[in-house]
Chain A
Amino acid sequence: DGGITQSPKYLFRKEGQNVTLSCEQNLNHDAMYWYRQDPGQGLRLIYYSQIVNDFQKGDIAEGYSVSREKKESFPLTVTSAQKNPTAFYLCASSIGTGEQPQHFGDGTRLSIL
């Protein structure tokens, strides 16, 4: 079945450590997105990519980095510069951008040790 796979499901970060969250899709979608969700709040856009080898900052990109070397993969690195990384991270993809529905992975819950 086609879908979006995020791993790991739970992740713990030590102070000063970078961690990378994986997102893979086999839907042949061009666009991919990373969101952060804090308890009781909506989704905030971190980064998005409309096509391979291209990506754009979203609303809260500071302290995060991404790459898009393959169409299927859009990993997110949470760097030590992100001082409040505890959140639920969601990856999504869509056929195009803007007016296309986005399909989400199951999320990664990141916590600080």
Chain B
Amino acid sequence: GQNIDQPTEMTATEGAIVQINCTYQTSGFNGLFWYQQHAGEAPTFLSYNVLDGLEEKGRFSSFLSRSKGYSYLLLKELQMKDSASYLCARGSSYKLIFGSGTRLLVRP
């Protein structure tokens, strides 16, 4: 993606915690989004951060540091169904700019 970096692949164990990092270019920043995408399906919206700090939503939390151009998605109590790609996207003017996604594999 345009100036958005996230790891290509991660592996974690069922029941564990995993953190997926995302760094982005700060110019023209207008919010940071996380989406989940299962193979062959459409992305589904997970979270949106526009201010610094942690937003918690059940097992998923998202963190933003605007000064550092950094965000992470934290997944707790991992389940097998959490195996998917996680897309980081930043708002910019009238559109979203997506990263290439992080493919997460959850193992038993």
Contacts and interface: CB of A to CB of B under 8 A. Distances in A.
Contacts of B69: none
A101 B94 contact: no
Given A42-B1, A42-B101, A101-B48, A107 B94 contact: no
Contacts of B33: 101
Instruction: Name the interface size band of chain B.
Output: 20 to 34
B91 to A, nearest CB: 5
A99 B42 contact: no
A50 interface: yes
B98 A50 contact: no
A101 B95 contact: no
Contacts of A99: 30-31, 48, 50, 91
A102 B1 contact: no
A88 B2 CA distance: 19
Interface residues of A, number: 26
Interface string A58-99: 110000000000000000000000000000101000000111
B96 A102 contact: yes
The 9 closest A-B pairs by CB, nearest first: A104-B42, A97-B94, A42-B100, A42-B98, A43-B98, A99-B31, A101-B45, A99-B91, A98-B91
Interface of B: 1-2, 30-31, 33, 40-45, 48, 50, 87, 89, 91-101, 103
19 contacts: A33-B95, A40-B100, A42-B99, A42-B100, A42-B101, A43-B43, A43-B98, A45-B97, A48-B94, A56-B94, A59-B2, A90-B42, A97-B93, A98-B30, A98-B91, A98-B92, A98-B94, A98-B95, A107-B40
